[in-house]
Structure 1
């Protein structure tokens, strides 16, 4: 490791660099000179202290920064190793989502575009399964510089996420109660859904019945169910909740409200088969806006969070680390389906 220590000593004269930046740059320079390759072991913390003269916390900070960029990895009780020789990477980001739904695909595409090519993003899906979530966190713990996570909304998950340093974690999509030093950019469902339903009241009253498809065993937000139930009670709307849509059961004069796109496509297919006109014979309202919903059947009315905005704000947090506490209300995109 003489070449590494020589490079560190050489950079000690570079005034603008902090001590930990000198260490980071020295290691990168030695990798780029092909003197360190993937799998090589770096000097231990004690050895670095003895040879360089910097404090332990300075050396640990340098190693941790390189870990965050995916260049270095630590192995329990075995030290630090070169994990990747791609020194152009700024940061490795773990993005943990529910599933790759169309609206989450839009989030990912904007997030990816905002960060640029120098950030490595690895995507994981937990499908609202606590065991899967735990397994993902076990596998990625300590391997990334930033964690952007859509959590399962149970206290047990809060305890798991508390093990990630606050400055390395951003909670997105669903709100989860965490200590105030943790950042979040999440949706709000109950009040904003209720308010948007009120805005749609004249259109909703055109229909004989208002049906929400809601599965209690799913990851559907409870706030939407509460908003729907309160709305039909407050405004005396003939409404009810069904678990799912039964093929060929479409009824004229009914307004259908979807959270999951699977039921939406089934209803639209039956609409076409029966020759019904969307927005006249039947009504369609959906949650989570996407480009395709803007186009099909003259446009589907949606109540939705702006996922592109959420993605841009999330990317900004990854780049700057500036703490953020933001709840994004749902918006109404009124189209021809009502």
Structure 2
């Protein structure tokens, strides 16, 4: 441990460095010189205060910065230890998403590419399960320098998220009402979906029935359900809402609106079996765009936000930590299926 103290003394004359930067560099230098190895215990905060003469909050800030890079970890209040000897890491990021849906995979790939190899990104999936969400944060709290989270929209999640400093938390995808100092880059579902349906009004009226597949006990956004009900009521459109698509139930002259890709694939398989032509014998509208929907059956019409753009803006927040409160617009992408 003495090498850390020696390194600090050497760096005290380096004027551009603040005291906490001197301590961070002293520890990194000790790792690079192999004087510190993975698993080694660092001096306690009290010991550091006594040896180097820095304020307690300065020592804590240095250790927390190193925790954010994944280089240091604290173990049940037993002290601070070297967790990783990769000193080139800029930041360790926890990315907490719903599940590995295709559109969330698009988000992850763009997010990772924009940040580059110097950022370590670990991905966790909560599957819209509150207990799973809580367990994830029990494991990861204090181990990352940044938390990028697609939250479950329930009140009990709020205190879990508000334990983090504002510059270490970004809410993405789904919005949740936190203190206004927290940043978010999220979607708005109800008005966005309704406005895009309005653009399709004349196309929708060509069909005998407009069918939405929606399950309230899943991660389906409630705003889509509300937008659909409002739209069909205001425009006197015959409609129905079903929990799931039943194999073989496809009918002519109906327009089907999918949130779940798995139900969409089942209907498309049935259309081939029955030799129904998409966009002529029946119509399809889907939520959340991806490259598959762009290609198959001449293209599926979608209502979607730009997940790659959301990812790029999220990566920019991780780099700059500049406060942002942004609702990403949904767009209508017209293709062959209507």
The answer to whether the superposition gives a TM-score over 0.5 is yes
Task: Tell me the equivalent position of 2:243.
Answer: 243
- The secondary structure found in structure 2 opposite 1:184 is strand
Task: Tell me the equivalent position of 1:332.
Answer: 332
CA distance in 1 between counterparts of 2:42 and 2:114 reads 33
- The secondary structure found in structure 1 opposite 2:281 is coil
Task: Tell me the equivalent position of 1:146.
Answer: 146
Task: Tell me the equivalent position of 1:273.
Answer: 273
- The secondary structure found in structure 1 opposite 2:277 is coil
Q: Does 1:231 align with 2:231?
A: yes
Contact map agreement 1:95 1:121 (CA 8 A) in 2 = yes
User: Displacement of 1:312 after TM fit?
Assistant: 0.6
- The secondary structure found in structure 2 opposite 1:110 is helix
- The secondary structure found in structure 1 opposite 2:122 is strand
What TM-score comes out, normalization by structure 1 length? 0.99
Tell me the alpha carbon deviations over residues 96-149 of structure 1, each in whole angstroms, 9 at most, x when there is no partner.
101000000000000000100010001000100111011001000111000001
- The secondary structure found in structure 2 opposite 1:99 is coil
CA distance in 2 between counterparts of 1:55 and 1:334 reads 61
Task: Tell me the equivalent position of 2:299.
Answer: 299
Task: Tell me the equivalent position of 1:129.
Answer: 129
Task: Tell me the equivalent position of 2:283.
Answer: 283
Task: Tell me the equivalent position of 2:93.
Answer: 93
- The secondary structure found in structure 2 opposite 1:241 is strand
User: Displacement of 1:296 after TM fit?
Assistant: 0.5
- The secondary structure found in structure 1 opposite 2:105 is helix
User: Displacement of 1:76 after TM fit?
Assistant: 2.3
Task: Tell me the equivalent position of 2:170.
Answer: 170
Name which of structure 1's ranges 162-171 and 60-69 shifts more when overlaid on structure 2.
Answer: 162-171
User: Displacement of 1:202 after TM fit?
Assistant: 1.4
User: Displacement of 1:166 after TM fit?
Assistant: 1.8
CA distance in 2 between counterparts of 1:78 and 1:158 reads 29
Aligned runs of 1:185-204 on 2, under 5 Å?
185-204=185-204
Tell me the alpha carbon deviations over residues 229-270 of structure 1, each in whole angstroms, 9 at most, x when there is no partner.
011111111111111111111001110000010110000000
Aligned runs of 1:16-95 on 2, under 5 Å?
16-95=16-95
Aligned length: 338
Quote the RMSD (CA, aligned, Å): 0.7
Tell me the alpha carbon deviations over residues 70-96 of structure 1, each in whole angstroms, 9 at most, x when there is no partner.
000011231110000011111110011
CA distance in 1 between counterparts of 2:266 and 2:196 reads 25
Runs of 4+ with deviation above 4 angstroms: none
CA distance in 2 between counterparts of 1:97 and 1:249 reads 33
CA distance in 1 between counterparts of 2:2 and 2:38 reads 18
Tell me the alpha carbon deviations over residues 178-210 of structure 1, each in whole angstroms, 9 at most, x when there is no partner.
011111111000001000000011111111111
User: Displacement of 1:216 after TM fit?
Assistant: 1.3
- The secondary structure found in structure 2 opposite 1:323 is coil
Task: Tell me the equivalent position of 1:261.
Answer: 261
What TM-score comes out, normalization by structure 2 length? 0.99
Q: Does 1:107 align with 2:107?
A: yes
Structure 2, unpaired ranges of 5+: none
User: Displacement of 1:211 after TM fit?
Assistant: 0.2
Contact map agreement 1:189 1:329 (CA 8 A) in 2 = no
Structure 1, unpaired ranges of 5+: none
Contact map agreement 1:289 1:303 (CA 8 A) in 2 = yes
CA distance in 2 between counterparts of 1:40 and 1:303 reads 52
